[in-house]
Structure 1
Amino acid sequence: MLDRIREGSQGPIVRVILFLIIVAFAFTGVSAYLGGGASDYVAKVNDQEITRAAFERQYQNQRSMMEQQFGDMFNLLAADENYMRQMRRDVLEQMIEEQLAIELAGKIGIKQSSQVLREQIRQMPEFQVGGQFDNNLYLRLLNNAGYTPEMFRDYLQAEMSRIMMLQGVLGSEFALPHEIERMQMLQNERRSGRFATISVERFADQVEVTDEAVENFYFDNQEQFRQEERIRLAYVALDFNDVVATIDVSDSEVRAYYDDNPAVFASEELRSIAHILVEFGDDEDAAYARIQGIQARLEEGEDFADLAAAESDDMFSGEDGGELGRLERDSFDPDLEDAGFALAEEGDVSGIVRSEFGFHLVKLTELVPAETTSFADVEADIRRNIAQAEAERVYFELQQQLARLTFEYPDTLEVAAEELGLTIQTSPWIRRAQAPEGYDDPRLLAEAFSDDVRELDMNSELVELDRRSLVVRADDYESARIRDLAEVRNDIYAYLAEQQAERLAKEYAESLLAQLQAGEAITDENVAFRAIEAAPRFGGELPGAVRQQLFRMAHSDSATYAAVTLANGDAAIIELTHVMPGVPDAAEQQRFGRQIEGQRSELAYQALMEGLKSKAKIERRL
């Protein structure tokens, strides 16, 4: 397992989970994971408290990720108190398992080296600019999150130790060659025989459904006939795109905007710099002598990047030839900035620069002069932007008028429609759980089924959707109810008739099956067998129920038989005559092996956590 742990410290699972760590860090800040700023706790794992502040941040992080994944649909999930209560319990359980894994990693002595930690930090895209690690961005992000590099290092050490331990557990599972071969043989197995279907329609004229049976089914299954409340809306809609189409922008307006805003169309000068740092240490004079020596070697023709890699005390930038990235004001030490901006040509190197960190040599590695985009290149964009801005102003004014008019005249939409030139439209029937497309936005549904609209027959509040604003009122409404027997009688009759016909088809298929098993021939001319030739376990042209039953059947030296009901109600009888063992595919061996290992890894993780929880002292206070 230790070999797997060492390999896993650089493996893809670590990289994936590190990404998740950074996502959590971006949402919550590492301070949440370090347990600071909380007066109580939601759980205690052995002696380690999981603070309420940490839990709430983790919970909000989970909510945020689900909102990003599900969009507006998450609002419907969030309205379910039981669902959200279970989600909170799941988040807490996840945090408990993480703490147990960290403790186990500590007990068995798993720890990441400083060198690997440093390399992982350098590889995190959140700390990179243009694919390269940016030390200033790194420090700025840490500072914004309210903690030091040491705090982040300790946090990352704990998380990576946990990940390495889990990698050792999950990555230690394996599949033996004969197991992989056996699975391949089973999945690649093919079977032959024949089958015949007995159509349910043959028995339609034998069906007898009485009024009593219909009524009994109706009264015994009332909930099946419950109709959810539904509403049909009358509404007026203000569309932003319609407003944009009314805006006309003159050529003089476009030119005036270009002339009045020169900075908008001028690109700034871009500079990138690299440096070599010699820290003061205990002897500033010795440090100065050392930087002078490096400067002399540069003047003799040695490469700046090579010297930075070999001599710079800035270990992060030194490995990249001293590159610090884009030079901007207030992003570096002021002395470095002044030196970088003083360089005139790409490739120029400054004299010795003193900063609070030590002595530097600064090189201008990139210089892109400022440029101004021509009017012809941006004319269309300016026209579009002016039209967009004017449309937003007009749209906002119309929104306010629509809201005011529908509020002042709450029992009609006609006044607002006439004054604003809108058309009163009518929706199809809308149910909360099955709203038709275009009427399924949770914000619209909330207003449509509000008491004002549904019960008081008033206009709704203004509903702001994406580039549309609506006001709705009830055109017709039906409350939730059990549908009358007269409404559903025909449906019940059809259902019961179908059930009877399926039962008759199944009984007839079973009688034919008994004949085959007794060695008798089937004389019914309406029963025609179709050959099954080397059918695969997955896919193929066989009906799904036939294929599944075919591969469930035991094989013997003689033919075996079975009956099954198909998805459409037809019955089928199946004869299995031949089984062809699957042939292992060397090209698929790794995939099958990973499949087995993945299943076993999941079981191993569950077993590990169950074992740790059984031995730990866990107090939950959620």
Structure 2
Amino acid sequence: MMDNIRSTANNPFIKILLAVIILSFVLTGVGGYLFSSGVNDAAEVNGYKISRSQLEQAYQQRRAQLQQDMGENFAALASSEEGQKLIRQQSLDLLINQALLDQFAQNLGISAGDQQIRDAIFALPYFQTDGKFDNKKYVDLLKGNNIDADAFAEGIRQNLINQQVRFSIQGTDFALDSEVKEFAGLMLQSRNVRLASLDIQPFLEKETASDDEVKAFYEQNNQMFIAPEQFKVSYIQLNAQKDLNGINITDDEAKAYYDSNIDEFTAAGQKQYSILVLADEAAAKAAAEELKKGADFVTLVKEKSIDTFSAKQNGSLGWITIGQELPELAKASLTEKGQISAPVKISNGYAIFRLDDIKQSVVKPFDEVKTDLLAKMRENKAIDDFFALQQKVSQAASNDNDTLAPAAKAGNVTVVDTDWFDENTVPAPLNNEKLTQLIFGGSLVDENGPTGMNSDMVTLGNDSAFVVRVEGYKPSASLPLDKVRDQVVMLVKQQKASQAMNAQAQKLLAALKEGKGEEALKAANISFGNEESMAHSSATDVVQTAIFAMPKPAEGKKEYSMTNVPGTKVVLIQLDSVTDGKPTSEQLEFMTNLYRAQMGEEALQLILRDLKDNAKIEIFDKDYQ
């Protein structure tokens, strides 16, 4: 197990997978990856379709993530054939693994209910003000990131299900003290190293690219030089906020609503309960007799309750809204403060309940709720009017499919015509998942080009709606060599320079291992830098990862290795010494949890590997094969 931990501790794929499985989708809109597919499918996983637009979105998000992580080094990675292939493969793997996990969870019967989703959203700090859920912040943040509320909720549901899968796997792993201590020593380990670099630039300056080499590279890597499909659309947008500004609700109307819906303004009554849980009926009856004779309820809870959680709270269940009690509690029928129930059968034994306190329902006065009520009624009226307007505009759009003019007239709005755009340059008003799916993967374009039809009404929440038609379409096509020649020349030179750089680095590494390194380094005009100490916890880039993958040097010896920073340099590594960490008790406790999570992650990888081996996976997009 420890060997596997060492090899996976800094595995970038696992970090990517974790990022997606947990909450990376929250502000990037990836919640819709598995919920719809268009006619242009890029892959299929046991029947789940992944559209080209979904895959392209994943690719762009992975690029953005790497750009943020790598900083100035990203440009070299993105410009190399190897780097682009890596990003494409990681993007596809993420979506395939997500589909496999979803299917695995379904087979296990794991699900997430609406209340769980609501609680999860309310708990997200992104949507809180002063520690409490802020609905306006929630709406504004989703709007600002072009995320549909339904798709976001579905993404939360998927995330909760995936977490349950992960936790169920992690919960089965047992960690030996010896393994945890070894793991802690590894994670807190430091290594003293010296580094020497071979930069690609000198090699690049020496390289040339012949016409034959340029032509061969272009033909072998034609997928790198494809212009994406482009669209030109026209659309109309309906906005409920415009209608809201013209709506007026009188105080009399608000008072009439208040009187007719008084329950909405009534704070429900609550009851505070305590519970004593016994293992069987005999024990419960005995405890009930003791209580009848005057025994103290809390004392019996501390002495006899088999439910450790409630016992730690002196049996308290807290306040429960009247009418929302669990069936067992409702069955106890407690109505008076201090009343104690007879034993009630529950799932893990028998319970005796006590009613500790009662809060009566309270009706909020009209003056207290009037301002909020007026705003709510205006909003509801706007929604009703907006829905009616949508129906009217939708009817006009379907009655005359050749143009948006009648629909625009019905909605008192203007038709907007866009310029050409692709999936990376979508105009801001249309940059929403529902609309991009409609345009890039929907029914508005067929094999002959634009269908010439208006779309159905597309609603975005309660305040915005669109009708779209595609006016022009350019399919994706290979760019001719003369259009990309400069780019191809640079890529050929970079490829040749990288090969030459790696070849020299391999020779230098061999010389170092043979004890002839000093002379070889001098001939190459490079040298090792000063010794520096690196902590395992800071191993985040490819060089540090390579350092901590090296074996410990023998006593009085040094270890040598090399690693390639794609598109920029090769780093030679001299490992002088290794010092294992000595964890404190607090660190050891933390490392125990981390180690169990790591074991669970390894188990998850094995499950994913097995699922993938037994899955029917078809990849239709040649760029990702």
Tell me whether 1:480 sits opposite 2:476 in the alignment. yes
Deviation at 1:238, TM superposition (A): 1.4
The CA deviation at 1:224 is 3.5
Equivalent in 74, 78, 82 of residue 34 of structure 2: 74
Contact kept, 8 Å, 1:502 with 1:571, in 2: the verdict is no
Distance 1:428 1:445, change over 3 A: farther
Tell me, yes or no, if the aligned pair for 2:268 and 2:361 is still in contact at 8 Å.
Answer: yes
For 2:257, the aligned partner's letter is: Y
Note the aligned Cα RMSD (angstroms).
6.0
Alpha carbons 1:546, 1:566 under 8 Å: kept: no
Native 8 Å contact 2:268 2:322 kept in 1? no
CA 457–448 in structure 1, closer or farther in 2 if over 3 Å, else same: farther
Query: Which structure's relative contact order is higher, taking Cα pairs within 8 Å and 6+ residues apart?
Result: 2
AA aligned to 1:415 is P
For the residues of structure 2 that align with 1:381 and 1:82, how far apart are their CA atoms? 49
Where in structure 1 are there 5+ consecutive unaligned residues?
A: 1-66, 99-162, 282-286, 356-360, 609-622
Letter in 2 for 1:535: S
Q: Does 1:492 align with 2:494?
A: no
Matched, 1:570 2:569: yes
Shift of 1:418: 3.8
Checking the alignment, whether the CA contact within 8 Å between 1:234 and 1:426 is kept in structure 2 is yes
- Give the 5 Å matches for 1:319-468: 320=315, 328=323, 346-347=337-338, 365-426=356-417, 439-442=431-434, 444-446=436-438, 448-453=440-445, 454-467=449-462, 468=464
In 1, Cα distance between the equivalents of 2:371 and 2:357? 32
Paired residue type of 1:373: K
Aligned-pair distance for 1:508? Answer: 5.9
Shift of residue 439, structure 1, vs aligned partner: 2.7
Q: Residue 190 of structure 2: which of 184, 188, 191 is its match?
A: 188
Counterpart position of 1:264? 264
Match of 1:522, SS state, is: helix
Report the Cα offset of residue 481 of structure 1.
2.8
427 and 501 in structure 1: CA distance in 2 versus 1, 3 angstrom threshold: farther
2:532 maps to 534
| 1: CA distance, partners of 2:198 / 2:577 | 24
Distance change >3 Å, CA 596–CA 569, structure 1 → 2: same
Deviation at 1:230, TM superposition (A): 3.2
Pair 421,178 (structure 1): closer, same or farther in 2 beyond 3 Å: closer
Question: In 2, distance between residues paired with 1:240 and 1:223?
Answer: 44
Amino acid at match of 1:544: V
How big is each residue's C-alpha offset from its partner over 1:564-590, in whole Å with a ceiling of 9 and x where there is no partner? 543333345x363x6233143132445
1:391 positional shift: 0.5
Aligned pairs for 1:266-281 (under 5 A) are 266-270=266-270
* Equivalent position of 1:223 in the other structure: 223
Question: Any idea what SS the aligned residue of 1:71 has?
Answer: helix
| Cα shift at 1:392 | 0.8
The C-alpha deviation readout for 1:409-458, integer Å capped at 9, x for no partner, is 22222333244232333557565699787535146423554444553222
Corresponding residue SS for 2:244: helix
Structure 2 SS opposite 1:401: helix
* Distance in 2 of aligned mates of 1:596 and 1:275: 37
The AA in structure 1 aligned to 2:199 is I
For 2:174, give the aligned amino acid: G
Aligned mates of 2:275, 2:177 — CA distance in 1: 49
Residues 403 and 374 of structure 1: CA distance in aligned 2, closer, same or farther (over 3 Å): same
Q: Which amino acid aligns with 1:257?
A: Y
Identify the residue that residue 522 of structure 2 maps to in structure 1: 522
Following the alignment from structure 2 to structure 1, what is the Cα–Cα distance between the partners of residues 473 and 316? 73
Does 2:503 align with 1:469? no
- Tell me the SS of whatever aligns to 1:248: coil
User: What's the CA shift string for 1:195-218, capped at 9, x where partnerless?
Assistant: 2443415643x3322233222222
For residues 424 and 497 of structure 1, do their structure 2 counterparts lie closer, same or farther at Cα, with a shift above 3 Å needed? farther
- Contact 1:198 1:570 (8 Å CA) reproduced: yes
The correspondence for 2:576, drawn from 579, 584, 588, is: 579
User: What is the deviation of 1:593?
Assistant: 5.9
For residue 455 of structure 2, give the secondary structure of its aligned residue in structure 1. Answer: coil
Distance 1:303 1:579, change over 3 A: closer
Deviation, structure 1 residue 486: 3.0
Tell me which moved more, 214-223 or 436-445.
436-445
Over 3 Å counting, the alpha-carbon distance change for 1:430 and 1:241 in structure 2 is same
Distance 1:207 1:260, change over 3 A: same
Moved more, 259-268 or 489-498: 259-268
TM-score norm. by structure 1 comes to: 0.55
Work out whether residues 562 and 570 of structure 2, in 8 Å CA contact, stay in contact via their aligned partners in 1. Answer: yes
Helix, strand or coil: the match of 2:35?
A: helix
Shift of residue 509 of structure 1?
5.6
What is the identity, as a one-letter code, of the residue corresponding to 1:463? Answer: V
CA contact (8 A) 1:267 1:372 kept: yes
**SS in structure 2 of the partner of residue 581 of structure 1:** strand
Q: TM-score under structure 2 normalisation? A: 0.54
Task: Give me the whole-angstrom Cα distance separating, in 2, the residues matched to 1:607 and 1:479.
Answer: 40
Give per-residue Cα distances to partners, 1:272-294, cap 9 Å, x unaligned: 68899xxxx9xxxxx9xx99998
Q: Which residue of 1 aligns with 2:22?
A: none
Q: Over alpha carbons, which structure has the higher Rg?
A: 1
8 Å CA contact 1:269–1:367 kept in 2: the answer is: yes
Alignment correspondent of 1:171:
174
**CA shift in 2, pair 1:274/1:484, >3 Å:** closer
The unaligned stretches of length 5 or more in structure 2 are 1-24, 49-95, 110-166, 345-351, 608-625
Q: Could you tell me how far apart the structure 2 residues matched to 1:419 and 1:489 are?
A: 51
Q: Look up the match of 2:137.
A: none
Counting only pairs closer than 5 Å after superposition, residues 201-212 of structure 1 correspond to structure 2 as: 203-204=204-205, 206-212=206-212
**Structure 1 range deviating more: 209-218 or 67-76:** 67-76
- Structure-2 separation of matches of 1:234 and 1:246: 28
User: 1:70: Cα distance to partner?
Assistant: 6.4
Cα–Cα, structure 1 residues 196 and 416, in superposed 2: closer, same or farther, change >3 Å? same
Residue aligned with 1:457, SS: coil
Specify whether residues 231 and 579 from structure 1 end up closer, same or farther in structure 2 by C-alpha distance, changes over 3 A only. same
Percent identity at matched positions?
16
C-alpha change, 1:291 and 1:407, in structure 2 (3 Å) is closer
Match of 2:235 in 1: 235
